[in-house]
Structure 1
Amino acid sequence: MSPEIAVLDIQGLFRVYTEFYRADAAEKTIIMVNGSLATTASYAQTVRNLYPQFNIVLFDQPYAGRSKPHNTHEAPLSREIEAHLLLELIEHFHADHVMSFSWGGVATLLALAQRPKRIEKAVVSSFSPVINDAMQDYLLRGVKHLGERNRYEVGHLINDTIGKHLPSLFKRFNYRHVSSLDLHEYDQMHHHITQVLAVDPQNYLAAASNIKIPVLFMNGALDEYTSGQDVHHFTKYVQDCSFSTIQDAGHFLDMENKAACRDSKNALLGFLQPGAVSASNTRHAYHQPQGTHAFAL
């Protein structure tokens, strides 16, 4: 399962590294949106869960991963720019579905609010419209450590909070990755968090009310930062939404343990391919609000 690799020019402004996992029998293509500080490697397990049922597109933001060498980093990117990049990639790859992780959910919701014609369904994972006390504490500590460019504290903050349910090996990889990032990546994340703390969530929630396609919000039952309870606020804005709470999982869902991996896969396929997963094999809580047609690292 080797991807087709390309670096795409986006309107002469950015160059984006992409991986396209083509499955000959797949009828649909899904594009994955990373969380902050993450790269294509973050979706390794999700790719295994969805391939070969789908063609899969991964990409690195211009400031991250294998896109970094192809771009200048003069100023942080806004979520609006990231949403525009996503829309361009959707068109290029003729994507039918989109899936986001954590803060990638903001750019994804902003892009979906533009009603891209090709997108039929979307999955927004480990994201919440509510900045609760746990998330507020995490963000404030993050702003401090990122502003000081303190690699040690940033790495440990992530593993001690949103990553606390990861296996020890994953925590070591996570710390190594986060503590070795370029300084402009810390500045980018600092910019993101500052925006989140300063901007009224109603701004992007109002944009979400323009989304007309079905959206699945998927959260871990053990995730106190983007909780499955808080995410239900989206019922007021997204016309066609459903929710899946993955038991025995925290913020990183399918990366945390075998049961969470299995249940995440069942939730995804059950939403994207109805009938493909037997209800008897599903342990996650999945429901659609009655009468409702209604962003981590």
Structure 2
Amino acid sequence: MRPEIAVLDIQGQYRVYTEFYRADADAPTIILINGSLATTASFAQTVRSLQPYMNVVLYDQPYAGRSQPHNTFDRLISKEDESHILLELIYHFHAEHLMSFSWGGACALLALAHRPASIERAVISSFSPRVNGPMRDYLERGTQHLQSCARSELGMLINETIGKHLPSLFKRFNHKYVCGLAEHEYLQMDRHVTEVLAHNLGDALYRAREIKAPVMFLNGELDEYTTVEDARLFADHVPRCSFRAITGAGHFLDMEHKHACEATRTALLDFLCARPQRQSSYAQSEGRVLAL
């Protein structure tokens, strides 16, 4: 399953590394949007779940992963900038679907609010419209480590909080990866965290009212940082939304164990491969995925 690799020029400002996993000429195309500090590697399991049924596009933000060598870092990138990069990728790949993970949800919502014509459905996973107590504590502690470039401490914090349900091997990889990040990546992440703590996702939520495509919010039942209950508050902001909960899973969903992986795959395919249905602008459905 070798991807087609390209580095795309985005309006002469950024160069973005992309991976295109081809399924079939007639298959729809989905773009996956990373969470903060993550790269294309974090979606390996999701690609295996989706690629037999659709073409899958992965990419690294200009400041991260394999996009880094092709960019300069004379200024930090906002979530609005990230949303415009995503829109360019949607147009380039003629994508029908989007799926975001964690803080990639803010970028995805901002892009969806522009109503890209090709997008038919979107999945926002491990994200909620409010910064609750546990998430605020995590972010406040995290920004201290980011500002001081305390690499090991940040790696341990991630594994003890949002990554608490990951297998021990994944935690070791997480810690090693975070310890190897460049200083500009820490500065970029600190910018995002500071914005979130100051504005509590206000702009992304305000713009979300403009979204026309159906959106499914997917959260882990055990995730105390972006909870199932908090995610359901999106019903007040996104006109055509539905909700699924993965039993026995935390923040990282399909990466945590086999049952969570199978349940996440089922939820994604049930939603993304469903036939379009006529519904009112405020139609909502609720579902629950049980681990097998």
Asked whether the equivalents of residues 130 and 200 of structure 2 are also in contact (C-alpha less than 8 Å), the reply is: no
Q: Tell me which residue corresponds to 2:290.
A: none
Residue 120 (str. 1) matches residue 120 (str. 2): yes
Q: Aligned partners of 2:142, 2:240: CA distance in 1, in Å?
A: 34
Amino acid at match of 2:43: Y
| TM-score, with structure 2 as normaliser | 0.94
Amino acid at match of 1:91: Y
Q: Using the TM superposition, name which of 117-126 and 199-208 deviates more.
A: 199-208
2:283 to 271, 286, 293: 293
Asked whether the equivalents of residues 220 and 253 of structure 2 are also in contact (C-alpha less than 8 Å), the reply is: yes
Cα offset for 1:26? 4.6
Q: Aligned partners of 1:140, 1:219: CA distance in 2, in Å?
A: 22
Cα offset for 1:227? 0.4
Task: For residue 56 of structure 1, give the secondary structure of its aligned residue in structure 2.
Answer: strand
Cα offset for 1:291? 9.4
Q: Tell me which residue corresponds to 1:261.
A: 261
Q: Aligned partners of 1:67, 1:52: CA distance in 2, in Å?
A: 26
Asked whether the equivalents of residues 24 and 54 of structure 2 are also in contact (C-alpha less than 8 Å), the reply is: no
Alignment: residue pair count: 280
Q: Aligned partners of 1:147, 1:24: CA distance in 2, in Å?
A: 45
Q: Tell me which residue corresponds to 2:107.
A: 107
Q: Aligned partners of 1:15, 1:224: CA distance in 2, in Å?
A: 36
Q: Aligned partners of 1:146, 1:26: CA distance in 2, in Å?
A: 44
Identity rate, percent: 61
Task: For residue 229 of structure 1, give the secondary structure of its aligned residue in structure 2.
Answer: helix
Cα offset for 1:219? 0.3
Q: Tell me which residue corresponds to 2:223.
A: 223
Q: Tell me which residue corresponds to 1:287.
A: none
Asked whether the equivalents of residues 113 and 210 of structure 1 are also in contact (C-alpha less than 8 Å), the reply is: yes
Task: For residue 233 of structure 2, give the secondary structure of its aligned residue in structure 1.
Answer: helix
| Unmatched segments (≥5 aa) in structure 1 | 276-289
Q: Aligned partners of 1:138, 1:26: CA distance in 2, in Å?
A: 43
Q: What's the Cα RMSD here?
A: 1.3
Task: For residue 269 of structure 1, give the secondary structure of its aligned residue in structure 2.
Answer: helix
Q: Aligned partners of 2:212, 2:222: CA distance in 1, in Å?
A: 30
Q: Aligned partners of 2:167, 2:117: CA distance in 1, in Å?
A: 40
| Unmatched segments (≥5 aa) in structure 2 | 285-292
Q: Tell me which residue corresponds to 2:180.
A: 180
Amino acid at match of 2:47: V
Task: For residue 85 of structure 1, give the secondary structure of its aligned residue in structure 2.
Answer: helix
Q: Tell me which residue corresponds to 2:289.
A: none
Cα offset for 1:274? 2.4
Asked whether the equivalents of residues 131 and 200 of structure 2 are also in contact (C-alpha less than 8 Å), the reply is: no
Q: Tell me which residue corresponds to 1:166.
A: 166
